[in-house]
Amino acid sequence: MIISSVSENISQEKRISITPDVVKKYISLGLHVYLSKNYALHLGINDTEYEAVGATIKNEDEAISNANIILQMNIPSTEILNKLKKDQILVGVLNPYLNEKKLKETISRNVNCFSLDLLPRITRAQSMDILSSQANLAGYKAVIDSFSYYQKAIPMMMTAAGTISAAKVLVVGAGVAGLQAIATAKRMGAIVYATDVRLASKEQVESLGGKFLVVEGAENLETEGGYAKEASEDFKKKQEELLKETLKKIDIVICTALIPGKKAPVIIKKDMIEVMPNGSIIYDLAASQGGNSELTKADHITDANGVKIMGESNILNKLPVSASNLYAKNCYNFINNLFNREKKTFEINLEDEIIEKTKVK
């Protein structure tokens, strides 16, 4: 049984799916690992390092044609998808909502496609949960980046010349990325506020030292799977009023609110941005799905009368080594669940909730 991975388009994606440490784990299962030439050279990992731990370096066509499983970060190019054969298994963050046409065509050729962004939120899937592992890093990096653009000190400083007030940070969305953003901003001395449609987030926010903004008459907008669901128009109106008042005193906003499979909810409207202090920052992690701010443009810094709105479509390209290490381990745990050790083969058992939920249909 062969696991393969080929180079991503590194102008768009610097993360990799198989690290040298994880190669050892696959080999311990009795699997073979094929990688394309210069697979992780952009991360400073030479092919010789992979060969030293037992991987085999092939050209791209050989790596794909010999594979039982092809493991990628993002959905491969159409050229690579067309090379996949019957009964091969493709695993990655395939984003089936955006790539429906490509995936349907691939599945029609009896290629089994598994998208790790569809993993159910159950205890047994936690070690495979790529959304959590990657979002953790994204929340941390968003705070670091936004603080680097903010032209004042973050913590309160008392000096003989006077006192510098602590920066005030608002985190929109208190999922994994949001909670890490709260923790990071708090550690750096900021005063942190947070808002989320899920009332269960209040306790988590407060445990990290943040102040939770409660919308009057709020209901718990959380799915059974633990994700946020779309708010009612009445809730949105009340949230807007609360946010507009709060934003008058906020220096930095970190936006992390996403609804799986849908356009990101627009939470920070243009009229709210107009009341923010000059020199403040909005860092929008939801930019790739439209953004939580009305003025967000992906991979662009917009200046709205002194307020900088930063849209980041793939912030993890700024932390590719750390992100790859976590993603590769998530993938290994998913593959391990597919692998029947007694029969030494991969089994697609649709009675397993993890396999059934992640299989693209």
Catalytic annotation, residues: 121, 126, 129, 132, 227
Dihedrals phi, psi of 183, to nearest 5 degrees: -60, -40
CB 248 within 8 A of CB 274: no
**Dihedral angle sign, alpha carbons of residues 216, 243, 176, 17:** positive
Task: Give the residue among 148, 139, 145, 209 at the shortest CA–CA distance from 176.
Answer: 139
The number of residues making up the chain comes to 361
Tokens of 83: 């090379």
CA distance 81 to 99: 12
Contact criterion met (CB below 8 Å) for 344 and 30 = yes
Q: Which residues contact residue 31 at a Cβ distance below 8 angstroms, ignoring those fewer than 6 apart?
A: 1, 2, 3, 339
Q: Which amino acid is at 144?
A: I
DSSP codes of every residue in 250-282: -SEEEE----TTSPPP--B-HHHHTTSPTT-EE
Tell the burial category of 326 from Cβ atoms under 10 Å away from its Cβ (0-12, 13-18, 19+).
buried
Q: Helix 20-28 crosses helix 320-338 at what angle (to 10 degrees)?
A: 10
Give the separation between CA 89 and CA 42, rounded to whole angstroms. Answer: 26
Measured CA to CA, the distance from residue 277 to residue 248 in angstroms comes to: 6
Listing DSSP states for 130-149 in one string gives: HHHHHHHHHHHHHHHHHHHH
